A and B are shown apart, each in its own frame.
Chain A
């Protein structure tokens, strides 16, 4: 068990690969490897590889007692602050976080949670004990659980540190860190991340903001507009992405994206009025304009023309915390709604005695449990020394938890009936706030593509290597034999259970389901790769199902791993955890099987063709084209 001590976490942070496409997608690799060797489990090297992959998820990551104490010590006052001093209703109504609340957050050190040990070091050297806390990813996840009780504050904090100052943190020079991070960590300065433009969301080629080098070569002149910038009106430090002209290796001048640190004091920075939003109304979102802003050349993050990678790394690294944040919110909702369900009576029966209401509570608990497990598993992996790239896992956590949160809030509202719809109660605010989770930090659709394609790239490489080694016919023959064996009935054993297994026997059934799914998923993926090859990029409906299966598999793994640990060390109510895990795994197993069965089919059988055709007809007319049910022809 790799214990995530702060010192080791440091290495973890910086050892990460800067190229996500080349980064190891741990979960995917695991699936693939287990699949590749599953049929011949007796081969020793594969067995060893299995074990290594298993170690990434089993046992569930733990932290030391001191760290736990430290975290609890820090969490206490934050929880108290949120329960007593934050008036979420007022924030929502006024669409503004009051300055005293903001100051309170700063005093608690919440603006510097994410500043890594480098800052901790700087803090001790330069500031003599004041400033940011320098906590690990686990700590960040833990605090996310509490800050999520107010969506506006959570988003303000996330925009500040998960993306706003992250650029300086992961790609900045020592001087930049020393200059900016202390004040950012203390909350004296607030950061914002300026990427989106009116014509550019996730497409780097359509960024219009331009930075031109001045004649003396010491400054860049920045011109352009950015929209929907969280903290845009509060921030004094901006991470801005703009086009610059870069001379290529072969002497050609090309436009490339560069990241800059821009201070508001550089001049020429203006912002529009705060946008009026559906949810997270208290967070400040507005347009930011740069007009001939003079940015010194020292303020380039990374290298000139290297902004694309900086942006990708920033976006990829911050997502995992959404799991714990959503879980925190759902836990709170369960408390509120169960109170109601146990007191309100209809037909001389409490609401809690109705099966349909019970089902909703179970759903909320299962989702909360699983997303919590996923979030802390990912955080633990990120805190591990030398563990490189968890961006796929983080994306999986984000997709699962945002959709789970939306479903749970909706169900909670359903339990409350009409009461939930009233503005006097906080539930409708939760509903509005939750909706943004599916949209920001990369929409779930885009992240599904990322998850599936990153994995496909990895699996495809292994398959091509195999083809090189064995030849086309060899692989085809092997595949044929494997399929034959599959149809004759195969017992999948990836070593999760049994004598040398890592899963507690109470979770045996769930683990078996996971193993079976993983095995057949590998088979499905190979089938897809041989069917579509590199053109699978265009098959978004296929990729969506692939991503859904992977997300479910990762969720099952996380839940089984956590529940296993809970039984083994005897945590309170571990039987409840086992129950939730088994419920989730069984449901996910069937969903996976359904998705994989669809993946095996061709486009005309699994409805993909029809879906696309229907959409095409609608979009051609840009309207719903069916006749009205009351229409007649005679």
Chain B
């Protein structure tokens, strides 16, 4: 959900400052007159620019963004006005908003509301108000509000003012907008891990964001590797960049890993950032079998703290009243040593990632690295694919990163086994 200030600045040229300035409406779209209404229920063909994903072929006009939407509205203006026609226009515009990239802008919704006539749909007198007046018109208003709600757009005072003009007080859209204005601000910061307001496009920035969200350690370093060019120059024609993340703790864990045991590259797993799907791979180890686990890797010193005893030599245990631990059955998982969102999910890229990791983790040169890849990819529509680490049966994969084109170590799919 957009930060209000940012939205205001970004859509500032719509003439609406983004604040709660209320009724001071400066609109580039002239309000349609309700006179001369064509009451026929004929289907108004949507303007060209407003069709979902339809390219706008007007020369020089932008394909996305508020400017495109504005242009589309202007095009709508040229259509013969009419109450039914207006409704169909608004409905079509609502459907097209996502394609134009304005679905999170409150100013865009307000502009749509301005298309609706003021006055004629306001019920006259209490009796008419009781009898569900103008149902289709009110449904249209509700649909607009529902779409706002779906995208988390908080209506502002202007929205309410426009609805008041169109539907009158105590109408269903007005009641809904009041409820929305009450609740939506309160839910605005519910998400403890908010995504940036603008949708992320797949690419380096999205990958970085995804890595940061998965591995929340601020000390984690993100290394970007590039496959295909030996020199590592960044140019638009070069193969896609593959950022990988590893925190100091993960590095330490990997250093303690027994080189005789294999480490695994697994993936791809899906990661959604709003509507963007990323595929990521993990480098992980298997959980140690219990008989090996209790041996500490670093020698424990009985004499360790210079100043105070680290443990008491007592035979008294903790009483049940102060035992605040829940009885939790933990699922055993192996340690995750590194994450990567490769630009391309092929083995060559992954092998390059592993060799880049090797610079800081020399143990990777000694331990066998097993690739367990789902060739099907990470599209969740193909089947449930959640990262279940250490639970799959180890496939007979090659111990070395396979060369490009070599099919040795045929990986199996994890699902269905």
Contacts and interface: CB of A to CB of B under 8 A. Distances in A.
A254 B185 contact: no
B181 A450 contact: no
Interface stretch (A132-140, A201-209, A416-424): A201-209
Contact of A530 (B186, B305, B316): B316
B307 A534 contact: no
Nearest to A622: B218
A397 B32 CA distance: 85
B202 to A, nearest CB: 28
A479 to B, nearest CB: 13
B318 A533 contact: yes
Contacts of B299: 254-255
A202 B322 CA distance: 29
* Residue of B301, B308, B309 most packed against chain A (CB within 10 A): B308
B416 interface: no
Nearest to A454: B309
A205 B301 contact: yes
A312 B306 contact: yes
A529 interface: yes
Nearest to A195: B306
Given A457-B312, A535-B318, A633-B188, A257 B303 contact: yes
Range for the number of chain B residues in contact with chain A: 20 to 34
Interface string A461-504: 10110000000000000000000000000000000000000000
A450 B306 CA distance: 10
Contact of B304 (A205, A461, A463, A536): A205
B189 A533 contact: no
A457 B314 contact: yes
B304 A602 contact: no
Contact of A203 (B185, B186, B305, B314): B305
A599 to B, nearest CB: 12
B50 to A, nearest CB: 30
A460 B400 CA distance: 57
B318 A202 contact: no
B297 interface: no
B317 interface: yes
Contacts of B186: 633
Contacts of B305: 202-204
Nearest to A536: B312
Interface in B237-256: none
A449 B308 contact: yes
Given A204-B301, A534-B314, A447 B307 contact: yes
Nearest to A450: B308
Nearest to B181: A634
Given A457-B314, A534-B314, A633-B186, A204 B306 contact: yes
Contact of B314 (A255, A312, A464): A464
Given A530-B319, A531-B322, A457 B307 contact: no
Residue picked from B189, B301, B314, B317, most chain A C-beta under 10 Å: B314
B311 interface: yes
B417 interface: no
A22 B371 CA distance: 55
Contacts of A308: 303, 306
By DSSP majority rule, is chain B's interface helix, strand, loop, or mixed? loop
Most buried by A among B4, B185, B316: B316
Contacts of A315: 306-307
Chain B CB within 10 Å, residue with most, of A456, A463, A531, A602? A531
Contacts of A633: 154, 185-186, 188-189
A304 to B, nearest CB: 14
Interface string A512-531: 00000000000000000111
B307 A603 contact: no
Contact of B318 (A195, A309, A532, A602): A532
Contacts of B308: 446-447, 449-450, 453-454
Contacts of A447: 307-308
A311 interface: yes
B309 A21 contact: yes
A531 B319 contact: yes
Nearest to A200: B306
B314 A461 contact: yes
Interface string A420-451: 00000000000000000000001000110110
Contacts of B315: 464, 534
A312 to B, nearest CB: 6
A533 B314 contact: yes
B322 A603 contact: yes
Contacts of A602: 321-322
A205 B300 CA distance: 8
Contact of B316 (A255, A311, A442, A464): A464
Interface of B: 4, 20, 154, 156, 181, 184-186, 188-189, 218, 298-299, 301, 303-319, 321-322, 324
6 contacts: A202-B305, A205-B298, A446-B308, A454-B308, A532-B318, A603-B322
A-B interface, 5 closest residue pairs, ranked by CB to CB distance from nearest: A533-B316, A634-B185, A633-B185, A450-B308, A308-B303
Interface of A: 21, 195, 202-205, 254-257, 308-309, 311-312, 315, 442, 446-447, 449-450, 453-454, 456-457, 460-461, 463-464, 529-537, 602-603, 622, 627, 632-634
Given A203-B305, A460-B314, A534-B316, 8 more contacts: A202-B305, A205-B298, A460-B312, A529-B316, A532-B319, A533-B317, A634-B20, A634-B156
